[in-house]
A and B are shown apart, each in its own frame.
Chain A
């Protein structure tokens, strides 16, 4: 990002070319500040407007700007002459105003889009005028990585005496807003920003100014951009880091910790209030130990990653919802030993073959196994005794295409079969009747008394 304050000695402007669009001539101005460059298009009239301001307020010589010409001002020869004259003009003006850099001139050159200082003066004004309304509406606010980078860098810079001394433009208003903001959205990009050579995802920033942030959503920003999480560990409740090519959770959870070994981690790096984590659409292969740094976690969503196995996360006592859809789970061995009192598991679009691993997840109420590779209807035996299970999805598994699939699944829940909602649908009376017959057959086969005979007790069965 441009920092004119730092690199004004190493900056330049030039009018490179002229283009005619809809019968209007535009001059393409190339701006360079240090290693950053961009361009901006202006008509001759824009130059005149700027020039008037610079003459009246900043002592620029009146005769400096090439004069107006009313007729035959579109001939290639004339346009080329004027381009060169404007080129000389801009270079001279920049040279003359380098140190004071008046607001009007900076704006003319689009500094407010690409330069740390000028971007923030504009942002300060916006937030001074709108900030309180935005905070009151409690909607989430979107900052670009460019703005976040500018804020982080600005905090490390001496703030210079500027020509624009109106307090409305004071940086305090930006920090004031940040310190109160509760919901923040950040969206990255690998494209060049505007007409510049700036790439958002190469800019570093931190969250230090955000003292009250509750919800944070990061989309498509690589973790190497984040230098510090500031006080997020004390305030954040909901965190989403989506499509960010993250390999491991601790890329974010420990982003500002140098030594990421479990032994060297102090209590102060715990995420004290964090209850929801969504790392959807990343490249995570393992849920690593760092998840223990989120002791209050209730909802973990790792949809669309590369997970095959789950590590022991039973220390997360408050975990209730686990979304692992679109991963590569196949066996799910002994999950009761790995996860605590989870209520809902999403495992659709995986490669699960067997339900054996779920047989002792006694708190489970909802299990989504749509689009997996379960073939044998008898697999349901492993979960039919789970006392709270109510919602089950087996749709788009091989098992779902066998004859009488629904009845054969429901039947296995014995006295609770009317409570089960299979693939979004409870059993119809007809299905229940058929299921009872099947069950009777099974019972006879196994030599026990059919449970449907004491149907009334089954209905008063009370989940805890």
Chain B
């Protein structure tokens, strides 16, 4: 392993929320390990994953909290909303009920996160188009009305998974650039990582950072 994994200048905190069984854990695995875990065990309480991405030449570490969708874990999972810079809100395009619950998830998110938190709506299981129960247009309209970003994705094929996580990060990064997101606020969900001694992190992208390895 190169020193790559330890070179980054920001940490963004994400949460993934939505009903049980919509594919939250699978999305996380697809994003962090590039694998589809068909028999992913049920999440108890919370799960965790990380990955380093690059936005506008900056290396950013995503710390992602995957929550359990069941009501009985709500008390636990609610506490993880605090200080999230990004929230991925997931429903299953083949199960209408998971879509109908979005407004309640959205209320929670709005109440428990801060105004700068980026909320991204994901209609998961797009590979199961034949069993579709929610149209793209309908969900798109919901997203627009509530000012959310939106894609349909598949944790199985990987379609749009990368995009959802990356677009969210870009939006957060923009907010930092615009000054809309205050890095020093305790609950911004964003941390600037100071350079460790002997290993400058904030240095301009070096040749190693740029190489396609």
Known contacts A167-B189, A209-B48, then 4 further A-B pairs from the complex at CB < 8 Å, ordered by chain A residue: A159-B80, A159-B82, A167-B83, A170-B83
List which A157-186 residues lie within 8 A (CB) of chain B. Answer: 157-161, 165-168, 170, 172-173, 175-176, 179-180
Contact A166 B48 (CB under 8 A): no
List which B72-123 residues lie within 8 A (CB) of chain A. Answer: 75-76, 78-80, 82-83
Contact A180 B50 (CB under 8 A): yes
Determine, out of A73-81, A132-140, A245-253, A424-432, the stretch whose residues face the partner at the interface. Answer: A132-140
Tell me how many residues of B have a C-beta within 8 Å of chain A. 28
Contact B186 A165 (CB under 8 A): yes
Contact A158 B186 (CB under 8 A): no
B65 touches which of A156, A158, A172 (Cβ 8 Å): A172
A residues in contact with B3, CB < 8 Å: 136
Contact B83 A158 (CB under 8 A): no
Q: How far is the CB of A160 from chain B (nearest CB, A)?
A: 7
Nearest A residue to B198, CB-CB = A133
- Label chain A's interface by main secondary structure: helix
The reply on A155 being an interface residue by CB < 8 A is yes
18 contacts between A and B (CB under 8 A): A132-B196, A135-B5, A136-B6, A155-B45, A156-B44, A156-B76, A158-B76, A159-B79, A166-B186, A167-B13, A167-B83, A167-B191, A168-B191, A170-B83, A172-B48, A172-B63, A173-B63, A175-B48
The reply on B127 being an interface residue by CB < 8 A is no
Contact pattern, B 35-74, Cβ under 8 Å of A = 1, otherwise 0: 0000000001110111000000000010101000000000
List which A81-105 residues lie within 8 A (CB) of chain B. Answer: none
User: Interface size for chain A: under 10, 10 to 19, 20 to 34, or 35 or more residues?
Assistant: 20 to 34
Contact A176 B63 (CB under 8 A): yes
Residue among A135, A157, A168, A172 facing the most chain B CB atoms (10 A cut-off): A172
A175 to B66, CA, bound (A): 12
B residues in contact with A161, CB < 8 Å: 79, 82
A159 to B79, CA, bound (A): 5
Contact A160 B79 (CB under 8 A): yes
Nearest B residue to A168, CB-CB = B191
B residues in contact with A172, CB < 8 Å: 11, 13, 48, 63, 65
A257 to B133, CA, bound (A): 39
Q: How far is the CB of A444 from chain B (nearest CB, A)?
A: 65
A132 to B1, CA, bound (A): 13
The reply on B162 being an interface residue by CB < 8 A is no
Nearest A residue to B48, CB-CB = A175
- Label chain B's interface by main secondary structure: mixed
Q: How far is the CB of A409 from chain B (nearest CB, A)?
A: 49
Nearest B residue to A159, CB-CB = B79
B residues in contact with A157, CB < 8 Å: 76
A residues in contact with B48, CB < 8 Å: 172, 175-176, 179, 209
Contact pattern, A 433-457, Cβ under 8 Å of B = 1, otherwise 0: 0000000000000000000000000
Q: How far is the CB of B30 from chain A (nearest CB, A)?
A: 15
The residues of A with any CB-CB pair to B shorter than 8 Å are 129, 132-133, 135-136, 155-161, 165-168, 170, 172-173, 175-176, 179-180, 209, 211
Q: How far is the CB of A158 from chain B (nearest CB, A)?
A: 4
B residues in contact with A173, CB < 8 Å: 63
Residue among A158, A166, A175 facing the most chain B CB atoms (10 A cut-off): A158
B residues in contact with A170, CB < 8 Å: 13, 83
Q: How far is the CB of B3 from chain A (nearest CB, A)?
A: 6
Contact B50 A158 (CB under 8 A): no
A residues in contact with B76, CB < 8 Å: 156-158
B residues in contact with A160, CB < 8 Å: 79
Q: How far is the CB of A294 from chain B (nearest CB, A)?
A: 22
Contact A158 B196 (CB under 8 A): no
Nearest A residue to B189, CB-CB = A167
A129 to B6, CA, bound (A): 12
A167 to B189, CA, bound (A): 8
Contact B6 A135 (CB under 8 A): yes
Contact A158 B79 (CB under 8 A): yes
